[in-house]
Every structure is written in C-alpha cells, then in structure tokens.
C-alpha cells in the first residue's frame, strides 16, 4: 500500500512538471539579467534587455501599450532582430520622429517575451514607465482633478493658473452644461520656444496644445501677456472637456462647434477677430456653416476669420436657445449623430437653416454696433478714425514680412 502511494505521488508530480506552462518552466532555462528603459524626450523611448539561456535564444519580442482614451485596447508587438546566442543584449528605440510624439507624462506599459531553441519561453512582468520631459525639473500643484506642472517661476504663478483653470471650467458648465469627467494635466513651459522643443515637428506659431485623448495640455507662457495665457488655458480645457463629453466611435464634432466653444469660453472676442468679422460682413464674404464644419484654412487670415465666425455661431446658439439646448446637442453628438441630424433633432433646423439664422444675427449685431458708434462720435473724430484706418492699410500693404508675422 505504501509503495502504491509513493508511485502515485511520483506520477502526479511528474505530470505537474510536464504540463507546467513553458513560461514557468523557463525560469531555470532563461534568465533576464537586464530590463531597463531610458527617455530621450520628445524624440523617443529606449528599451534595453539582456538575457541568458543554456541553449541559443532565438526569439525576442517587445510588447507595449499606451495609456490613453480609445475605443479598444491596442497592444503593439515588436520583433527584435538579433543573432541567436546563449547570451544576448538587445535594444529597441521607439523613434517618435517617425511615428508621431506623445505628450509629457504619458504612461507606457511594456513587457518582453523571450524564447530559446528548445521552445522554453519567459515573459517578463509588465512595467509602467512615464514618458516625462526630463529636460527640466518639474514642480506640481494638484487640486481635485487638475494638476499643474511648471519648472520656471514662483508657486504663486501656478496658483493663479489653477484659479484660471477652475474659473474656465465653471464658466463652461454654466454656458453648456459640460463638465470635466477625468483628471487633466497642464504643463506650463517658460516660453513658446521651450514648448515647441517638447513637440515633434511643431508649427512656429504653436503656443498651446490639447491632447484630448491623453487628458494633457501644454502651454508656452508669454510673460508680457499674462491674460493671453488664461485665455489659452480656457481654450484648451474646453477642448478636453468637450472631447470627453462627446466621445464616440462614429463622428467627430463639426470644427465650428469644437473651436467655437473653445473661443467662446475664452471670453469676448479680441479686437483683431471682431475686425475680421466686420470686414467679412462689409465684403459679403462670410464663410458658410457647411464650410466651417471642415478643417479650417491654412492661411492665417482665413483661419482667423473661421475662428471668429465659429465663436459667433456658438454665441448665437447659446444666447438665443440657452444652455440646455447646447448640452442636448453635445449629447446627441455623443450618440454618433451626423451634423444635420443633430441640429434638426435639437434645434429644428439643419446646417443651411443655421447658416441663414446666424448670418442675420451677426450682420444685425455688427451693423447696429457701427451705427451706435457713429452716433456717439462727433464728425471730426469719425474723420480721424477713417484717415488713420486708410493710413494703416497703406502701411501694411508695403510692410516687410517680419512686421506682419511678429506673432
């Protein structure tokens, strides 16, 4: 009886050994001696692995995922090229100059699979690494769902930006009903040059960016224009919130609504934008709502006019139909509705109907403002303004490019 028990026990143990997963058996057959990463922000992320085996290692693969909002979890797999050997050292560089960059603070999770000539397999535990902008020593300030990072200046400046952020979120909720659902990170760079240095192939005019799928905002400070930074924070925060509220796998928002809400939350239009609106009205060259639904022009003046009109479109909808309707519109877009169907469902008119109503509102608004101004100003003042305007037009027509593109 004792002999049978011993034989049975040995049989069970042998069976367990034979049927153990190869990744567990490989603990003795394969040995990981190095598993590290290093960051070269913003250009890339370096992955390094060293391993040993009793027989040649023939297959090494890197797997990684990026933490961001998406409709499905995506795992990337990289087959590493190397010469099979019992001891290997391999490296793979994620060159973001080719694939597109990531915002600072993005979490990347990775693991390796190593297989030797006998089929033994080792899978490393997943490791999370933060893709940080390690060119600077960052400080941070957190209040509820907002974290602000900065490396230049006093904490009081960050506190002021925090207050501006909270005020922008409060105003957005009041106007549209939309509220922040997920945490947001705001990185304040000391100037636009530092900001552009954190980006892959930046535009020379870039002063701020919202990475809506990552919940991250980057802004370059302009010390001489502190109010512009508050407007930029309001603008980019709006993009994040609206992206969260309308997230769906079917359709994006029309550009006029996305940019118009961000412009509207900044506050009243700045003079340069209102002047473009007045000019377009005078020349009967307002851009149609259908055209504003697509990406804006690459030409500066046309793009600025598109931004101004988009703000005015949102102003028209909110002032005439209220916050409730705007929130309904955002929710309908969240359901994946088309542009026309969303407008019809909420307001009872399509894009062409909106275009007609909005044009009448805008033309009336700015022409009434001109009449009021003309009534207030005495004739001599009106003549001075007219002459100054003509002189400025003549100067701009011959001004060198560095004057017009001063930023």
**Residue 34: both structure tokens together:** 């190095």
Q: Which residues pair with 32 in a beta bridge?
A: 51
Model confidence pLDDT, tens digit, residues 54-109: 999 999 999 999 999 998 889 999 999 999 999 999 999 999 999 999 999 999 99
How many whole angstroms separate alpha carbon 266 and alpha carbon 302?
20
Omega of the bond leading into 302 within 30 degrees of 0 (cis): no
Question: 335 and 284 in contact (C-beta within 8 Å)?
Answer: no
How many whole angstroms separate alpha carbon 261 and alpha carbon 318?
10
Residue ranges matching CATH 2.60.40.10 in the chain: 21-131
Per-residue pLDDT of the chain (407 residues; tens, 9 = 90+): 444 443 333 343 434 433 334 344 445 589 999 999 999 999 999 999 999 999 999 999 999 999 999 988 899 999 999 999 999 999 999 999 999 999 999 999 999 999 999 999 999 999 999 999 999 999 999 999 999 999 999 999 999 999 999 999 999 999 999 999 999 999 999 999 999 999 998 877 788 899 999 999 999 998 778 788 999 999 999 999 999 999 999 999 999 999 999 999 999 999 999 999 999 999 999 999 999 999 999 888 999 999 999 999 999 999 999 999 999 999 999 999 999 999 999 999 999 999 999 999 999 999 876 655 444 445 554 454 455 444 434 433 333 322 223 23
Q: Cα separations (Å) of 146 from 67, 179, 254, 389?
A: 18, 13, 27, 45
Question: What does residue 179 show for φ and ψ, rounded to 5 degrees?
Answer: -130, 155
Q: What pTM, to 2 d.p., does this model score?
A: 0.82
Residue ranges matching CATH 3.40.30.160 in the chain: 136-245
Quick one: 136-245 is in which CATH superfamily?
Answer: Collagenase ColT, N-terminal domain (3.40.30.160)
Thinking of the domain 21-131, which architecture would CATH place it in? Answer: Sandwich (2.60)
């Amino acid at each position: 009886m004792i002999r049978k028990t011993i034989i049975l026990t040995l049989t069970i143990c042998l069976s367990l050994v034979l049927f153990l997963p190869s990744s567990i058996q490989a603990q003795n057959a394969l040995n990981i001696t190095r598993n590290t990463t290093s960051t070269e922000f913003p250009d890339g992320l370096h992955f390094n692995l060293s391993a040993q085996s009793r027989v040649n290692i023939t297959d090494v693969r890197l797997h990684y995922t990026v933490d961001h909002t998406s409709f499905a979890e995506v795992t990337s797999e990289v087959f590493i090229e190397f010469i099979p050997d019992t001891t290997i050292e391999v490296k793979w560089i994620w060159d973001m100059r080719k694939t597109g960059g990531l915002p600072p603070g993005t979490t990347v999770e990775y693991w390796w699979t190593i297989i030797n000539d006998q089929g033994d397999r080792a899978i490393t535990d997943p490791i999370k690494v933060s893709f940080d902008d390690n060119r600077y020593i960052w400080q941070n300030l957190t209040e509820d769902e907002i974290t602000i990072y900065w490396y230049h200046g006093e904490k009081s400046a960050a506190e002021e930006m925090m207050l501006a952020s909270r005020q922008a979120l409060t105003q957005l909720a009041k106007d549209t009903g939309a509220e922040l659902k997920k945490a947001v990170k705001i990185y304040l760079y000391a100037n636009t040059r530092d900001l552009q240095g954190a980006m892959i192939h930046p535009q020379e005019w870039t002063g701020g960016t919202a990475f809506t799928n990552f919940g991250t905002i980057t802004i370059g400070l302009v010390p001489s224009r502190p109010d512009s930074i508050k407007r930029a924070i309001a603008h980019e925060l709006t993009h994040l919130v609206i992206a969260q509220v309308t997230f769906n796998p079917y359709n994006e928002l029309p550009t006029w609504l996305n940019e118009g809400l961000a412009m509207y939350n900044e506050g009243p239009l700045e003079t340069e934008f209102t002047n473009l609106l007045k000019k377009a009205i005078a020349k009967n060259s307002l851009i149609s709502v259908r055209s504003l639904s697509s990406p804006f022009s690459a030409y500066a003046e046309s793009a600025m006019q598109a931004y101004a009109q988009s703000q005015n479109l949102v102003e028209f909808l909110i002032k005439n139909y209220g916050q409730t309707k705007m929130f309904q519109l955002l929710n309908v877009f969240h359901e994946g509705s088309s542009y026309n169907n969303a407008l019809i469902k909420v307001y009872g008119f399509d894009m062409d109907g909106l275009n007609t109503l909005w044009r009448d509102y805008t033309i009336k608004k700015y022409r009434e403002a001109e009449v009021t101004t003309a009534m207030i100003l005495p004739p001599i003042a009106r003549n001075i303004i007219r002459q100054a305007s003509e002189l400025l037009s003549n100067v701009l027509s011959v001004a060198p490019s560095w004057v017009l593109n001063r930023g």
